[in-house]
Amino acid sequence: MLRVDIEKQLGEFSLHASFSSEGRVIGLFGASGAGKTSLVNMIAGLLRPDRGTIVIDGETVDDTAAGIHVPAWRRRIGYVFQDARLFPHLDVAQNLDYGRRMNRLPSDPVQHRRIIDLLDIGALLGRRPGRLSGGERQRVALGRALLSKPRLLLLDEPLGALDEGRKLEILPYLVRLRDEANVPMVYVSHDAAELRQLATQIVTLKQGRVTSLGGVKVLM
């Protein structure tokens, strides 16, 4: 599903990560500053590795030796950021529809309905992002990413900006997503408890290096 073998120098920090996984939900675990976000940005195509390869679902999206770098907008990945990054000039419905429009996908009312129900965001459709709570914003961001029909969903600390109460509010949606949405995910977190609930496989990152790879047991 996902194969990564990259090197990247970011100022003083060097990231050298190599792993491959067939897991449905790959948990990327590590303290802040371990290089998780940089790694995810490279998988997304927002950051270019200095050396190495990234293969998503059989397609090589980065191969520095062969000069391959597929730009982010052609990778068909969904990315949910810690700070939802909803478009402030569009309402919720338009935000949700953005990926479909950009990828020129035909409208798919069934999937649309299903994801809106899954995330319970039907009541928010007419609102602007400025009028949403943090948890609502993150649910809309999830929906927006899913509706672009990605082949891989990247979630970078999607609960990181929320307080404990909100986290517990969103977590069940993420579990549902994992079980029902049928999209493989890379889930980044520094919270072992969160990953134990969601991930099927764990990649541990420490100071830019992969230190372990395996089932959720590595978190015990």
Partner 1 sequence: MSEISPAEWTAILLSLRVAIVATLVATPFGIALAWLLARRDFWGKSMLDAVVHLPLVLPPVVTGYLLLLTFGRRGLVGGFLADHLGIVFAFRWTGAALACGVMSFPLLVRPMRLSIEAIDRRLEQAAETLGAAPWKVFFTVTLPLALPGVLAGMVLGFAKAIGEFGATITFVSNIPGETQTISSAIYSLIQTPDGDAAAGRLVIVSIALALGALIAAEWFARRATARLHGN
Torsion on CA atoms 137, 172, 37, 147, rounded to nearest 10: -60
Q: Taking CB under 8 A as the rule, which mask of x and - marks residues 147-176 in contact with partner 1? A: -x----------------------------
SS3 115: helix
Q: Is 118 in the site for partner 1 (CB under 8 A)?
A: no
d(CA 73, CA 47): 13
Stretch that binds partner 1, among 27-35, 62-70, 143-151, 175-183 (CB under 8 A): 143-151
- Which of 98, 196, 206, 207 touches partner 1 by CB under 8 A? 98
- Which of residues 71 and 215 has its CB atom nearest to partner 1 in the complex? 71
- Which of residues 46 and 213 has its CB atom nearest to partner 1 in the complex? 46
- Which of 24, 112, 114, 128 touches partner 1 by CB under 8 A? 128
Residue 121 CB, nearest approach to partner 1 (Å):
16
d(CA 183, CA 160): 22
- Which of residues 7 and 83 has its CB atom nearest to partner 1 in the complex? 83
The amino acid at 62? D
d(CA 115, CA 202): 26
Stretch that binds partner 1, among 14-22, 58-66, 72-80, 177-185 (CB under 8 A): 72-80
Q: Is 187 in the site for partner 1 (CB under 8 A)?
A: no
Which residues are registered as beta bridge partners of 77? 152
> b or e along 14-43 (b: 16 or more beta carbons within 10 Å of the residue's beta carbon)?
ebbbebebebebbbbbbeeebbbbbbbbbb
- Which of residues 93 and 213 has its CB atom nearest to partner 1 in the complex? 93
SS3 31: coil
Cβ-contact 154, 185 below 8 angstroms: yes
d(CA 177, CA 143): 10
- Which of 4, 56, 115, 145 touches partner 1 by CB under 8 A? 145
Q: Is 46 in the site for partner 1 (CB under 8 A)?
A: yes
**Residues at the site binding partner 1, with contacts judged by CB under 8 A:** 44-46, 71-79, 81, 83, 85-89, 98-99, 102-103, 128-131, 144-145, 148
